[in-house]
Structure 1
Amino acid sequence: MTSRNEPQPDADLPARVSTLELFFDLVFVFTITQLTSMLAEHVTPAAAGRVLLIFGLLWWMYSAYVWLTNTRTPSRVPERLLLLLGMVGFLIIGLSIPHAFGGDGERGRDGLAFGLGYLLVVAVHSGLYLRVNRNIWRILPFNLGSALLLVIAGLTPSPAAYGLWGAALALQVFASLFVRLAGRFEIQPEHFVERHGSLLIVAFGESVADVGIGAGGQRVTVSLALSAALGLALTASLWWAFFGTADDDRAARSLARADRAERPRLVLAAYFYAYIPMLLGIVAIAAGLKTAIGHPGATLTAGPAVALAGGVTLFLIGDVLFRWVLRTGIPWYRAAAAAAALAAWPVATAVDAAAGIALLTAIVAAALVIEQATVKA
């Protein structure tokens, strides 16, 4: 007899990512673009800290929805409507991000909206997941606790509100580290890999859109066109690092070979933790490019230069961790490129923006060329 708490077999196990899931990802990436705008406006340690807090909270719940749709395709009308309601929650969160935090002694103008939007996201996710796997009860208290802390933070002036935000994130980190997942959640490798690959593609596309936003209202000069083209080349080099070397295909094979009870741990390590620096890297690069394209021919200040170089470093570090966890390739050349990109940021403050972007692109491209030559040899 099967325990009522064990995952149940279902005819709706996902084979491919549905169009509704892609629609969901577009709404989620809107929140990522809001983080890019926040960082581009003020490239400071304080802004970076706020971005990290918000991203950590959003990434946890986005991943929770991926695990949900990996369990069963949202094919029934009630499920689709509820998933759309969850998207409304993410949309409210995205709209509230720019003013979610207040100054000293003030509460964020939209902090309460953020908390309520997050509570809606958690409530919809919990209701949907309970229909397919009651093991979500093991994580639900952490999610609900985080949401309630954010609602309270929205009513609390700074700096106390920051403590509540930090506590909300800490609850989720605690859940990911101490809640046993093996044997309680079923992973469909092909769907999981395709879903996260699609997310990266959308995130890359939004970073290119930020290039266009940075150039908005300016005359298209040779300097502007060159900077924009190089910005696209930098984004394309990172796309090539992940997709051009078939890391996603190798990842699918690696997960398929793994023991079914081991897959949740591998997925958490590769598609949750390793993706964090990759996505934060895209946010930082987009923020740096937005500033660089907005001032073509000028020399970047320290903040945007660090955002660009640090973003490339973060993405490559995430890629290295991803490869190491799933054993999908030799990560050492990319690790060297990550270190070289970080070391290049002082150079980016001494040359014009186009030259700095070109240097970072060359570092990534060189690592990929050497890696491929080594593999063929």
Structure 2
Amino acid sequence: MGDGGGTRWSRGVQRGAPGSRTTRLELFYDLVFVFAFLNVTSLTSSTPTPVNLFRCLLVLALLWWCWTGFAGMATLVRADRGVLPVVGFTTVAATFLLALTMPGAFVDRPGGLNGPLVFAGCYLLVRAAQLAIVGWLARSDPVERRRWLLQAALPVVASALLIAAGVVPSRIDGRPVAIAVQLGFWTLALAIEFGVGTGVGGSYWRVVSAGHWAERHALMILVALGESIIALGIGPKFISELPLTGPVVVAAVLGITVVAALLVGVLRHRYLSLSVS
């Protein structure tokens, strides 16, 4: 795949290289994704029902797909050079709005903008920002360009399905049927993105620097685990409301133990990945 532009190429988009490292700017981007992930946790605990759990798993899968594509793109190009910071800030702004609209992603709440429409629009914007860079990289390669055209259609179809999931169920008589139709639309959207997207991704899923990818993934998990510790202390109000009893101490220690065990696993995975690269 040719550069297709020499000097002009480096002004707009600069290729990534083997051995590159995660930048501070990328870590800032990941903070917004972590906020979105924690919002999913809050929504899960707010209504502990099987339907709500499945909805939150669908949202989590959609967010992970967005972050994976965003992080993978950063191994193909330099995230801190040229126009990439603009793409990054657009992505995190749309992701932040997407996280704020999560409570209304399935059913529109009274007042304000339409929740499902805003959620679907933010998702489409996140994916479009990523695919715009991939399309720029593939413009000089006919094979990769055809792959990109097919890939670019996937988030459009998925967003349309998300909009349908927010609009169609309200017109169906019978709550169980409406919920089944809604979950079906969401599941189909994810199946298209994950199934077809990985099949036709081509160079989009090629990792230029394994060390960069491993470090980015490890830092993402590390930040998420750190936020989990904060949520563990603030969420149940250990400090302000609960007395320091035996069960509270056990719960707090077990929570920290689980986080520490996950952290050890992440650091070990990063060490092995960096050793291989």
The root-mean-square deviation of aligned C-alpha atoms, in Å, is 2.8
Determine if the alignment matches structure 1 residue 148 to structure 2 residue 153.
no
> Percent sequence identity over matched residues?
26
Determine if the alignment matches structure 1 residue 116 to structure 2 residue 121.
yes
- Paired with 1:186 and 1:39, the residues of 2 have a C-alpha distance of 33
The TM-score with structure 1 as length reference comes to: 0.59
1:163-220, CA deviations, whole angstroms, 9 ceiling, x for partnerless residues? 2212211111222453263798352111011010011101111221221122323144
What amino acid maps onto 1:94 in structure 2?
Answer: A
Q: Look up the match of 1:272.
A: none
Q: Look up the match of 2:73.
A: 68
Deviation at 1:50, TM superposition (A): 0.5
Determine if the alignment matches structure 1 residue 218 to structure 2 residue 241.
yes
Deviation at 1:142, TM superposition (A): 1.5
Secondary structure of 1:187 counterpart? coil
Matched-pair contact (CA < 8 Å) for 2:105–2:116: yes
* Aligned counterpart for 1:139 among listed residues 151, 161, 183: 151
Change (3 A) 1:55 1:202: same
Q: Look up the match of 1:242.
A: 266
Matched-pair contact (CA < 8 Å) for 1:70–1:192: yes
Change (3 A) 1:226 1:21: same
Q: Look up the match of 1:18.
A: 23
- Paired with 1:70 and 1:131, the residues of 2 have a C-alpha distance of 15
Q: Look up the match of 1:232.
A: 256
Q: Look up the match of 1:309.
A: none
Determine if the alignment matches structure 1 residue 251 to structure 2 residue 273.
yes
Q: Look up the match of 1:47.
A: 52
1:338-369, CA deviations, whole angstroms, 9 ceiling, x for partnerless residues? xxxxxxxxxxxxxxxxxxxxxxxxxxxxxxxx
Change (3 A) 1:252 1:34: same
1:215-252, CA deviations, whole angstroms, 9 ceiling, x for partnerless residues? 32314414334422331122112212332xx2212123
Determine if the alignment matches structure 1 residue 185 to structure 2 residue 206.
yes
Deviation at 1:141, TM superposition (A): 1.6
- Paired with 1:120 and 1:102, the residues of 2 have a C-alpha distance of 21
Work out which structure has the larger RCO, using CA pairs closer than 8 Å and 6 or more positions apart in sequence: 2
- Paired with 1:37 and 1:90, the residues of 2 have a C-alpha distance of 17
> May I ask how many residue pairs the two structures share in their alignment?
246
Matched-pair contact (CA < 8 Å) for 2:69–2:130: yes
The TM-score with structure 2 as length reference comes to: 0.78
Q: Look up the match of 1:33.
A: 38
Q: Look up the match of 1:196.
A: 217
- Paired with 1:11 and 1:46, the residues of 2 have a C-alpha distance of 44
Change (3 A) 1:169 1:75: same
- Paired with 1:31 and 1:253, the residues of 2 have a C-alpha distance of 31
Change (3 A) 1:130 1:77: same
What amino acid maps onto 2:231 in structure 1?
Answer: D
Q: Look up the match of 1:84.
A: 89
Deviation at 1:11, TM superposition (A): 5.4
1:74-110, CA deviations, whole angstroms, 9 ceiling, x for partnerless residues? 223532122101111111110111222239xxxx962
Change (3 A) 1:230 1:64: same
Matched-pair contact (CA < 8 Å) for 1:27–1:87: yes
Structure 2 runs not aligned, ≥5 long: 171-177
Secondary structure of 1:215 counterpart? coil
Matched-pair contact (CA < 8 Å) for 1:150–1:168: yes
Q: Which moved more, 1:117-126 or 1:72-81?
A: 72-81
Structure 1 runs not aligned, ≥5 long: 257-377
